[in-house]
Amino acid sequence: DTGVSQNPRHKITKRGQNVTFRCDPISEHNRLYWYRQTLGQGPEFLTYFQNEAQLEKSRLLSDRFSAERPKGSFSTLEIQRTEQGDSAMYLCASTVAGIQETQYFGPGTRLLVL
């Protein structure tokens, strides 16, 4: 069990550019979540997958955001035409669907949009 990994750990981009983040969940986990955290706040839910199906999306997830989880393994989160307000920590978590669902978080990708 190597834990949840995320890449890159840091990303600096210019406004208007596209960025893509990757999350590799714990291998046997079938649920994968994306959250966004801004300074001084708790993480906010963006979307989640069960296997390869995206089952829920937050209203925070504008049309510029898209997430995929092909083959139900790793997931990618893409932000198109980045804005300064997208600057945040993007967190990924995974869990096994069931009665007790403890979510395990990755180290996050810190995005700065200049």
Partner 1 sequence: GIQVEQSPPDLILQEGANSTLRCNFSDSVNNLQWFHQNPWGQLINLFYIPSGTKQNGRLSATTVATERYSLLYISSSQTTDSGVYFCAVRNSGAGSYQLTFGKGTKLSVIP
Q: Of 11-19, 53-61, 68-76, 77-85, which segment contacts partner 1 by CB under 8 A?
A: 53-61
Helix (H, G, I), strand (E, B) or coil at 85: helix
Count, in order, helices (H) and strands (E) of the chain. Answer: 0, 11
Using rule CB under 8 A, residue 74 touches partner 1: no
Instruction: Identify the residue among 8, 15, 51, 56 touching partner 1 (CB under 8 A).
Output: 56
Helix (H, G, I), strand (E, B) or coil at 112: strand
Rg (CA), the chain: 13
Under rule CB under 8 A, which residues in 3-22 are in contact with partner 1? none
Instruction: Identify the residue among 52, 54, 66, 107 touching partner 1 (CB under 8 A).
Output: 107
